[in-house]
Amino acid sequence: MMRVRMLILYTAVTIAALAPSSALAQAYPSKPVRIIVPFAAGGPADVFARVLGQRLQEALGQSFVVEDRPGAGSLVGTEAVAKAVPDGYTLLMMSNTHAINESLIPDKPYQLMRDFSPIAPVNYSDLVLVVHPSVAVNSLKELIALARANPRSLNYASSGPGTPYHMAGELFKAMADLDIVHVPYKGSSGARTDLLGGQVQMMFDAISTMAPNVRAGKLKALGTTGKVRSAVLPEVPTVSEAGVPGYDAVIWLGLMAPAGTPRPIIERLNAEVRRIVASPEIKDSWAKQGVETMSMSVDAFTQFLRDDITKWAGVVKRSGAKVD
């Protein structure tokens, strides 16, 4: 009889302990939520944050407002989120730029795994190396030969120091043993505009963004950066098969919150994001753009982030990349 009473008491205490957490998750959100995008408008992070925000709004019944706050290679917007109240009403749309910056910019005003709580990954996509038509090459091997014959005569644009576009270029430089010049911009839109205008000669950029320009003949695609060819540009070889064996670089996006955000809110957002990216409509729509959805638990995403930070620390060390 005593054991039965103890079991009943234990069950009651457990339910009571869990009730506040459950209630907190169910009550959230009770007001509009901001998703800060620390990159320029029009780029992948901005575009997919808006899709995600709209779906979260439909699911949770509150506005999810996307706010672009670019600058300093993502540091401006990211620091703003780090300093925000950890209540689930300010979120960060982040990318592997943030994993890269952990080693590339060690003295920044925050530390990713200390000052943020991971929520969920969103998607990933390959990049494509494109050159302006004025560059007299038609293959990656020809580009490599031209760069080696004329050190520092070729330049490549990026959306800023530490971005996947920048580090894809640094990895390419290191693995192909080239001396090409990095030209950083404050956002991807400015970099693309100057590339299309011929002010810079080449760039690693998202396939989803650059494919239309390639098809229109405005730029030449020399290689995609994944392990296999992209379904969006199947005629374009990977950088690995075209002349730099083993090359692999992608851009991925995810969602984080300020450290200290209640776990029930983190878990609810994780569940909603995973439900959204699992929908056939989203998967099919994004696949047509060369974008693959990602789905992980909070703990799995946390480990994924730690692993990616370690990976890019190795690339930064190997390439000697620095922020000027």
pLDDT digits (tens, 9 = 90+) for 215-269: 999 999 999 999 999 999 999 999 999 999 999 999 999 999 999 999 999 999 9
Q: Smallest Cα–Cα separation from 91: which of 70, 74, 66, 114?
A: 66
Under 8 Å between Cβ of 302 and 287:
no
pTM for the full model?
Answer: 0.80
Which stretches in the chain have pLDDT values below 50? 4, 13, 18
CATH code, residues 126-242? 3.40.190.10
Q: What is the pLDDT of residue 319?
A: 77
pLDDT digits (tens, 9 = 90+) for 110-132: 999 999 999 999 999 999 999 99
Domains 32-124+250-319 and 126-242 share a fold: yes
Q: Tell me yes or no: is domain 32-124+250-319 CATH 3.40.190.150.
A: yes
Show the tokens assigned to 175: 């693995």
Q: What is the pLDDT of residue 75?
A: 92
Q: Which of 268, 270, 283, 286 is nearest to 28 (CA)?
A: 268
pLDDT for 195 equals: 97
Question: Rounded to an integer, what distance in angstroms lies between the CA atom of residue 56 and that of residue 64?
Answer: 7
pLDDT for 249 equals 92
Residue 47 CB partners (closer than 8 Å, separation 6+): none
Task: Write down how long the chain is.
Answer: 324
pLDDT confidence of residue 290: 86
* pLDDT confidence of residue 44: 86
Domain ranges, ordered by start, for the chain: 32-124+250-319, 126-242
pLDDT for 15 equals 52
The CA radius of gyration of the chain, in Å to the nearest whole number, is 22
How far is the C-alpha of 192 from the C-alpha of 18, rounded, in Å?
A: 51
Half-sphere exposure of 154 (CA within 13 A, CB side): 26
SS3 156: strand
Q: Which of 242, 2, 253, 265 lies closest to 124, judged by CA?
A: 253
State the Cα–Cα distance between residues 189 and 194, nearest whole angstrom: 9
Assess contact for 246 and 223: CB atoms under 8 A.
no
pLDDT at 206: 87
